[in-house]
Structure 1
Amino acid sequence: MAHVTSIGLDVHARSIKACAFNPFTGEVARRSFAYAPSEVAAWIASFEAPKAVYESGVTGFHLQRELEALGVDCVIGAVSKMDKPAADRRKKTDRRDAAFLARQLALGTVTEVHVPDPECEACRDISRALEDAREDVVACKQRLSKMLLRYGYVYDEVNERGQRKKAWTKAHWAWIESIRLAEPAAQEALDYYVDRCRRAIDEKRALAAKVAAHASGPRWKPEVDALRLFKGVEVVTAFAFACEVDGFSRFRSASAFASWLGLVPSEASSADARRQGGITKSGNRHLRRLLVEAAWHYASATRSPKRPAAGCEVPPEVARHAAKGVRRLVDRRAALSAAGKKPVVANCATARELACWIWAVGCMVEAE
């Protein structure tokens, strides 16, 4: 619906600066609020055909939902798509930020962020919590192994074939727990790191089980089952894509989806010269990391389709398309390697193409 008055909101945890701008009359009004959506909504309603906007960021979607519930047309603008003049970047205040947002909304240059429903946002949070738990485990293992290294303990056991045994197995843990340091304080520190590492691993395992339970729910299961047909994609990755994307058909093309993930080349072209660089990395960092990890599987994968896991229910045409994607990805990775591309470059290109196939399969499932 067309609007008349553009409202810019500079939102913080405890305060909101508002600026109302009517481009037809030139009228500008400003107001400061505590974080009180009802007061903000009442003020906005006093203007002719208002529409409000605030920047995406750490404040999330709460204010947008509250204002919408109170009858205010409110959107969230993608901060990464807003180009501020150099003067505004050098002189930044809450008042100026609110006025900038109001002007951008009046000009129609605001790129609106998709607002998920509360269930989808909650599933995103538990998916990202599992990512945080994984990082915690890595950090705990790093602290423990480096403390042992400082005291001269290095796990260097070999098997009967002379190969070095892997770390963090039962044998490795038994070796760690057999260590006794001479100084009581050092032993107490070691005990702490061992306990913290054990607890981090248990917490990650428990959270992974909860993610799997949510992934099997009726809302997410069709997409999760279909995406798991790609090699390198299991429950955690498939669930992350389903809830982070919240509708693959939102994107007009596979290229647009890859761009949203930050997997397209950067560019600095002028006149007849075209210069492309590394990927933009401007999109969803969580999904981009999962894609890059999944893409490494295609360095050694075969062209045969991946067998559906027990309990997976996928329409035959979707399964055939996923199998076609697996063959294409394996061939693409082999061609890149044969062309002499560096492994990381080849993997990034594979991740980009995997994103396109995931988008296609996701759209097919949504159309069912």
Structure 2
Amino acid sequence: MGVQRTSVGLDVHARSVVACGLNRETGEITERRLTPDHREILDWIGELPGPVAVTYEAGPTGFGLARALDAAGIVCQVAAPSKLIRPAGDRVKTDARDAAHLARLLHLGQITAVTIPTTDQEAARDLVRAREDCRGDLMTARHRISKLLLRQGIVYYDGKAWTGRHELWLRKQRFDNLSLQLTYDAAFDAMTACLDRRQRLEAAIEAMAADSEFTPVVRRLGCIRGIATLTAFGLATEIGDWHRLTGRTIGAYLGLVPSEYSSGASRTQGAVTKTGNGHARRLLVEAAWHHRAPYRPGTVLRRRWDVASPAARARGQAANRRLHQRWAHFDQRKKRSVVANMAVARELAGWCWSLAVLDE
């Protein structure tokens, strides 16, 4: 970003925007309370001495304002809230102070900006997160059914739960108490509705993964065990531009590196930081468990290899062998499985990055 004459910090809310402009040359501060209307914000910024740069915190209001500023030729950085530098003794928080604080950080070049996705990329990411929300709703609905039956002393013993056979067994359950029957029917209807919604969302994701800007990355990531279409598409949409990361930094970006507190000669490491994108981190942690079993490529994995390039296929096979060796090494040392899996997930993130940026 070039040197701007005026640094503008915006504290953006659903119904109001508090703006603060800091003039680099004169030190003059200009404050204004605005509405979230983009036209009003652009008109006010146009009155300030140029060139102007703007920043505001990433949040529930989205990236619409940043796109409007960019379309108007105004430099805008959307700040990562977790990376903002705040004085330890600051105990007063108001909208005006937040806007002024953002303007000062922008003036000093201390803003850590997040990547602004396009409208299509954001829509694809929302689709993936809708499917993830549906997955959580389905788990909750199933939990309610199983515990409702357990309170009545009814337990399913005839095989694995939540299969087609188990669903037929659930449909046969009847209760003499009318209130209990209505409660059970409501819980069962909620579960079936979640199943239908999940199927629709997964079908939409499969179609988009086969023909969209994410398709090349999805096909390359599919060469790794545990990363099928849904997981690959989720990683592609959540991370977006893989080239802004490296094999060393992607683990820290996803919060998969150990926390550390070191002072003097002492060095203490704790649990992983769990910073960054939690959605992508969960996908990688789940995929890492697949590498514990012996590496024997199956039919489904070979089908995914067939649609990938030879270079991606070779890289994926190397990743599969390496990650299983890591699991075997941890098991040999009797390492706690959850700790070992997190280490494998961190290395898996690096392999995914190498495939995503692979030049074919």
TM (normalized to structure 1)?
Answer: 0.94
Aligned to 2:102: 101
Q: Residues 82-111 of structure 1, C-alpha deviation per residue, up to 9 Å, x if partnerless?
A: 1211233x2111010000000100110101
1:308 paired with 2:302, answer yes
- Contact (CA 8 Å) 1:68, 1:74: kept in 2 or not? yes
Aligned to 1:166: 160
1:74 paired with 2:68, answer no
Q: Kindly state the Cα deviation for residue 139 of structure 1 after the two structures are TM-superposed.
A: 0.6
Q: Kindly state the Cα deviation for residue 68 of structure 1 after the two structures are TM-superposed.
A: 1.7
1:357 paired with 2:358, answer no
- AA in 2 matched with 1:354: L
Aligned to 2:336: 342
Q: Kindly state the Cα deviation for residue 303 of structure 1 after the two structures are TM-superposed.
A: 6.2
Q: Residues 19-69 of structure 1, C-alpha deviation per residue, up to 9 Å, x if partnerless?
A: 001233211010001111111111112222110000011111111111222
Q: Distance in 2 between matches of 1:93 and 1:303?
A: 59
Q: 1:85-164 residue pairs with structure 2 within 5 A?
A: 85-88=87-90, 90-157=91-158
1:59 paired with 2:61, answer yes
- Contact (CA 8 Å) 2:6, 2:24: kept in 1 or not? yes
1:278 paired with 2:271, answer yes
The 1:314/1:170 distance shift into structure 2, 3 A limit, reads closer
Q: Distance in 1 between matches of 2:62 and 2:233?
A: 21
- AA in 2 matched with 1:222: P
Aligned to 1:208, the other structure's residue is in SS state helix
Aligned to 2:257: 264
1:20 paired with 2:21, answer yes
Q: Distance in 2 between matches of 1:144 and 1:193?
A: 6
- Contact (CA 8 Å) 1:303, 1:327: kept in 2 or not? no
Identical-pair percentage = 41
Q: 1:189-204 residue pairs with structure 2 within 5 A?
A: 189-204=183-198
Aligned to 1:47, the other structure's residue is in SS state coil
- AA in 2 matched with 1:301: P
Equivalenced residues, count: 357
Q: Distance in 2 between matches of 1:17 and 1:174?
A: 58
Q: Residues 281-304 of structure 1, C-alpha deviation per residue, up to 9 Å, x if partnerless?
A: 001100100111100111113165
Structure 1 runs (4+) greater than 3 angstroms displaced: 303-308
- Contact (CA 8 Å) 1:227, 1:233: kept in 2 or not? yes
- AA in 2 matched with 1:189: T
- Contact (CA 8 Å) 1:227, 1:362: kept in 2 or not? yes
Aligned to 2:46: 45
Q: Distance in 2 between matches of 1:314 and 1:87?
A: 55
Q: Residues 282-339 of structure 1, C-alpha deviation per residue, up to 9 Å, x if partnerless?
A: 0110010011110011111316598432695322122111111111101011111111
Q: Kindly state the Cα deviation for residue 70 of structure 1 after the two structures are TM-superposed.
A: 2.5
Q: Distance in 1 between matches of 2:306 and 2:57?
A: 40
- AA in 1 matched with 2:205: V
Q: Distance in 1 between matches of 2:193 and 2:306?
A: 32
Q: Distance in 2 between matches of 1:307 and 1:289?
A: 21
Q: Kindly state the Cα deviation for residue 249 of structure 1 after the two structures are TM-superposed.
A: 1.1
Q: Any stretches of 5+ residues in structure 2 without a counterpart? A: none
Q: Residues 92-143 of structure 1, C-alpha deviation per residue, up to 9 Å, x if partnerless?
A: 1101000000010011010111011111111001011110111111011011
Aligned to 1:160: none
Match for residue 241 of structure 1 among 225, 232, 235? 235
Aligned to 1:87, the other structure's residue is in SS state coil
- Contact (CA 8 Å) 1:299, 1:333: kept in 2 or not? yes
TM (normalized to structure 2)?
Answer: 0.96
Q: Kindly state the Cα deviation for residue 153 of structure 1 after the two structures are TM-superposed.
A: 1.2
Root-mean-square deviation (Å)? 1.5
The 1:170/1:218 distance shift into structure 2, 3 A limit, reads closer
- Contact (CA 8 Å) 1:21, 1:28: kept in 2 or not? yes
- Contact (CA 8 Å) 1:38, 1:67: kept in 2 or not? no
